[in-house]
Amino acid sequence: MEIYQVLDFNGSPTDPSDVDAVVAIKHAYNISRDDWQGDPCLPKEYSWNGLNCSVGIGTPRIISLSLSSSNLTGQIPLSLSKLQALESLNKLIGWIPQSLKDKSDKGLLSLSLGGNPDLCLTDPCERRKNKFAVPIVASAVSLLALVVLLSLWIIFFRLKKGRQGESVNETKKESFKTKNRPFTYSEIASITANFNTVIGQGGFGKVYSGTLNDKTKVAVKLLSESSKQGFKQFQAEAQLLMIVHHKNLVSLVGYCDEGDNLALIYEYMANGDLRKKLSVNDANVLDWKARLQIAIDTAQGLEYLHEGIKPPIVHRDLKTANILLTEKMQAKIADFGLSKVFMTEWSCL
């Protein structure tokens, strides 16, 4: 329980201009002293800590201000200059208001500059500003130069990439003349052990498992006579695969173009397609880390199709069945040109 006692006080309150000034100083420095409440000077025994006032003759005025050991930072507030009766002031930093300097010059204010390395008149402050301005300007110029150099490097890289990018229009050929190895139909039959193992079924026909002479496993897509998609579409996919090269696109190993026998030989994807991996029947459930990486791989493959080739290729049939997974669960996009892109109609893209 707290007990309060009302004290009679008939004296004049502290000069209003001094009150406004010291309250402004309180807010400027965010001073949170418990006794800095009410009238700064009166009653005398309850005056604010750090203040000395002229009490007894006329209106009380603040003549001394000490804010030492208050952990204050920042510049001298201009409100200090409004304490017209101030005679003593403790150590501060920054620029001295002209009115305080004038009072000090006239001997009306005790103001010591000794031991105050951060307290300055106008000229020293200007020199300090210049001292700090030089490294700031130098840093800004360096940063600007770095941004310019980085921008030039990006422009150069994109121009170089554009020049190196093979134009899809250059692939308008009837035959499959590329660095990819051509295979005969008899070789295809040998690779697949006479088409023994079917690992997939698509619009062009069946996909068979095969092994090259160097023991490299491959997938062989063979165009069937009953295919829903014709020769031109099959040829278009082959020509597309011969010009796109990216870690997140299924690579073409070779091809067969022998009479009515058409086949494409792809790198083998040990973990099949994403649709099966997401199936409830698959015992190996993909964790979220693996799913996120698959999404990133797929996005990188699409970015290459959209940005890495001129003109760009639009997949238009992206689905889990067309996202294949390597032995290390790296995702690669397949069938990105299948029946969707025609080499003689690039304007549709």
Which residues participate in catalysis according to the annotation? 317
Rounded to 5 degrees, what angle do the CA atoms 8, 12, 16 make?
130
Q: Taking Cα atoms as reference points, which of 92, 206, 341 lies closest to residue 100?
A: 92
Give the burial class of 259: count Cβ atoms within 10 A of its Cβ; 0-12 exposed, 13-18 middle, 19 or more buried: exposed
Picking from 64, 111, 75, the residue whose alpha carbon sits closest to that of residue 91 is 111
Q: What secondary structure does DSSP assign to 48-66, as a single string?
A: PTTEEEE-SSSS-EEEEE-
- Closest C-alpha among 348, 332, 347 to residue 244: 332
d(CA 54, CA 61): 5
Buried b (16+ CB within 10 A) or exposed e, 273-307: bbeebeeeeeeeebeeeeeeebeebbebbbebbee
Cα separation of 33 and 24, whole Å? 14
* CA distance from start to end of the chain: 84
Whole-number CA gyration radius for the chain:
42
| Alpha carbon separation from 73 to 36, 52, 69, 92, 125 (Å, rounded) | 19, 22, 11, 9, 17
Tell me, what DSSP letter sits at residue 177? -
Annotated ligand binding at 221? The verdict is: yes
User: What's the rounded Cα separation, in Å, for the pair 55 and 11?
Assistant: 9
If we measure between CA atoms, which residue out of 284, 285, 286 comes closest to residue 295? Answer: 286
Residue ranges of the binding site: 221
Residue ranges of the binding site for ATP: 221
